[in-house]
């Protein structure tokens, strides 16, 4: 305790120099904590969005992850309802799982033939259980999502209502009927009379019948979905489009169609046995992913089922790439801050040693050992580092509070709409304590060269130093 009291008295001799050094350490701590809070906010927001849409874990038929998206019908899970019941009743998993829901992937062609329109394009669709999706959208472990707003567009009792991507609506000419803002309408090129083939009477009757049905049903747009069944036969169903669900990736947005699970199963399996391509599990907490996955793998192996398990990081490599990028930037920033603090403390302590050379010779002549002199200067560096790091933590918390209440908006990765710009409070021990202890350690180690110089100085030379 006496050592640190002496250290505090010594650094207060030249207050201006000590304040400037502590301020540099504080700026380093503040910069690291603010960037750490920003990256934590980014990671939490991305993870929340991914888990809300696709859960933490997904069970597929073996091989689906690599080859299934091209032919979903060939990778259906047999007796999936029994599998779901066993998972929900498993003694290990039932305490970890919040939602268990089936999904069915579909690929095919979507067409709009109403009101004289004749447009079609390929699509990638998902069959979902609307009530389960609504429950999954309420997951917000980190508080990084907007307040939950109910959406019943996939909860149609008749099982024929769904949503499409903004790009699909644009290319099928549905921006007008769906009232999509800032959605350009494609230019329609008309052929001169007599130059084009006549419209097939059956298609004309079908278009007229669909237009009459839409008018009777409140003018809800309708698209036709064409796909091949599991047996290879063509199949077609009608989907009433309740609105647009914009996706963050353009390639997905230009092909996305979400529909009730029963409608997707009807399109893929027809009158055959209805299966699913995936069973999605959303957990209560993300920290349980490893334990839940281990139990799932063990459960599948015990029953010798042709299934595999994938977590949300494997299903979304973009998330892993973002985490890696921001982590690398944080390390680079931390290295810069360390170098700045290192040189600032070395310069300050070197000046202190030069100014107190005669004093060092005096205490050495009184019998103070070299190790004691070295410890005194190291304690001064540690005190400077601790004061600066503590000030930096306080300033970082003040800055975070100001930003969170500033009302700023921005478009983060993985989002399609602007959201409030906020910073996550740096409550993680690894970030908060690591930053504080790291800067204190750097300041202490930076004092080592000047301290060694002071401890090794000859008594006679130090006493006659001017």
Which residues does 203 contact at the CB level (< 8 Å), separation at least 6? Answer: 113
Structural domain boundaries in the chain:
2-46+320-463, 63-305
pLDDT computed for residue 154 by the predictor: 83
Residue 180's nearest CA partner among 165, 193, 195 is: 165
Q: What is the pLDDT of residues 206-225, one digit of tens each?
A: 444 544 554 444 567 889 99
pTM reported for the whole predicted model? 0.81
Whether residue 57 is predicted with pLDDT greater than 80 in this model: the reply is yes
**Mean pLDDT value across the chain:** 85
Q: What percent of the chain has pLDDT over 90?
A: 46
Residue 448's nearest CA partner among 358, 394, 371 is: 371
Are 106 and 226 spatial neighbours (Cβ–Cβ below 8 Å)? Answer: no
Highest averaged pLDDT of the listed ranges 144-153, 188-197, 436-445: 436-445
pLDDT computed for residue 372 by the predictor: 84
Residue with tokens 């975070």: 400
pLDDT computed for residue 389 by the predictor: 94
**Maximal CA-CA distance, the chain:** 115
User: Between 378 and 186, where is the model more confident?
Assistant: 378
pLDDT computed for residue 414 by the predictor: 61
CA distance 267 to 277: 13
CA distance 284 to 286: 7
CA distance 234 to 267: 9
Whether residue 199 is predicted with pLDDT greater than 80 in this model: the reply is no
pLDDT computed for residue 188 by the predictor: 56
Whether residue 368 is predicted with pLDDT greater than 90 in this model: the reply is no
Counting other chains too, the contacts that 411-414 makes at CB distance below 8 Å and 24 or more residues apart are: 412/42, 412/45, 412/46, 413/42, 413/46, 413/248, 413/318, 413/322, 414/45, 414/46, 414/49, 414/50, 414/248, 414/318, 414/319
Average pLDDT on 380-392 reads 92
User: Between 295 and 119, where is the model more confident?
Assistant: 295
CB atoms within 10 A of CB 153: 17
pLDDT computed for residue 208 by the predictor: 47
Q: What is the pLDDT of residues 64-114, one digit of tens each?
A: 988 888 888 889 999 999 999 999 999 999 999 999 999 999 999 999 877
Whether residue 117 is predicted with pLDDT greater than 70 in this model: the reply is no
Report the 3 state secondary structure along the chain: CHHHHHHHHHHCCCHHHHHHHHHHHHHHHHHHHHHHHHHHHHHHHHHHHHHHHHCCEEEEECCHHHHHHHCHHHHCECCHHHHHHHHHHCCCCCCCEEEEEEEEEEEEEEEECCCCCCEEEEEEEEEECHHHHHHHCCCCCCCCCCCCCCCCCCCCCCCCEEEECHHHHHHCCCHHHHCCCCCCCCCCCCCCCCCCCCCCHHHHHHHHHHHHHHHHCCCCCEEEEEEECCCCCEEEEEEEEEEECCCCCHHHHCCEEEEEHHHHHHHHHCCCCCCECEEEEEECCHHHHHHHHHHHHHHHHHHCCCEEEEEHHHHCHHHHHHHHHHHHHHHHHHHHHHHHHHHHHHHHHHHHHHHCHHHHHHHHHCCCCHHHHHHHHHHHHHHHHHHHHHHHHHHHHHHHHHHHCCCCEECCCCCCCCEECCCCCCCCHHHHHHHHHHHHHHHHHHCHHHHHHHHHCCHHHHHCCC
pLDDT computed for residue 442 by the predictor: 92
CB-side exposure of 136: number of CA atoms within 13 Å? 25
pLDDT computed for residue 180 by the predictor: 87
pLDDT computed for residue 194 by the predictor: 43
């Amino acid at each position: 305790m006496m050592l640190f009291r002496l250290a505090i008295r010594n650094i207060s001799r030249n207050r201006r120099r000590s304040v400037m050094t502590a301020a540099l350490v504080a700026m380093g701590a503040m910069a690291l904590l603010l960037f750490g809070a920003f990256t934590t906010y980014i990671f939490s927001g991305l993870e929340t969005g991914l888990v809300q849409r696709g859960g933490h874990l997904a069970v597929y038929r073996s091989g689906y992850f690599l080859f299934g998206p091209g032919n979903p019908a060939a990778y259906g899970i047999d007796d999936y309802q029994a599998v779901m019941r066993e998972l929900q009743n498993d003694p290990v998993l039932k305490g970890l799982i919040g939602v268990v829901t089936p999904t069915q992937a579909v690929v095919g062609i979507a067409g709009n033939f109403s009101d004289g329109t004749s447009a079609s394009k390929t699509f990638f669709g998902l069959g979902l259980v609307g009530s389960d999706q609504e429950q999954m959208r309420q997951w917000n472990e980190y508080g990084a999502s907007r307040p939950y707003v109910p959406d019943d567009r996939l909860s149609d009792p008749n099982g024929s209502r769904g949503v499409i991507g903004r790009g699909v609506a644009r290319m099928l000419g549905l921006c007008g009927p769906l009232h999509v803002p800032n959605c350009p309408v494609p230019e329609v090129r008309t052929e001169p009379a007599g130059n084009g083939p006549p419209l097939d009477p059956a298609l004309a009757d079908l278009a007229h019948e669909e237009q009459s049905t839409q008018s009777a049903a409140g003018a809800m747009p309708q698209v036709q979905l064409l796909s091949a069944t599991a047996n290879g036969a063509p199949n077609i169903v009608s989907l009433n489009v309740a609105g647009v669900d914009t996706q963050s990736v353009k390639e997905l947005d230009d092909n996305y169609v979400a529909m009730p699970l029963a409608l997707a199963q009807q399109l893929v399996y027809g009158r055959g046995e209805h299966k699913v391509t995936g069973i999605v599990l959303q957990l209560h907490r993300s920290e349980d992913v490893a334990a839940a996955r281990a139990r799932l793998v063990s459960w599948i192996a015990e029953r010798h089922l042709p299934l595999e398990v994938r977590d949300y990081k494997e299903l979304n490599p973009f998330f892993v790439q973002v985490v890696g990028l921001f982590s690398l930037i944080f390390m680079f920033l931390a290295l810069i801050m360390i170098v700045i603090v290192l040189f600032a403390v070395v310069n300050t302590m070197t000046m202190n040693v030069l100014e107190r050379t005669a004093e060092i010779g005096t205490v050495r002549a009184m019998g103070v050992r070299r190790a004691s002199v070295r410890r005194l200067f190291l304690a001064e560096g540690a005190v400077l580092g601790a004061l600066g790091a503590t000030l930096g933590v306080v300033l970082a918390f003040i800055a975070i509070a100001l930003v969170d209440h500033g009302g700023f908006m921005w478009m983060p990765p993985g989002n399609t709409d602007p959201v409030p710009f906020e910073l996550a409070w740096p409550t993680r021990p690894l970030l908060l304590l690591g930053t504080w202890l790291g800067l204190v350690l750097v300041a202490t180690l930076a004092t080592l060269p000047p301290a060694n110089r002071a401890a090794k100085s000859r008594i006679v030379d130090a006493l006659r130093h001017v």
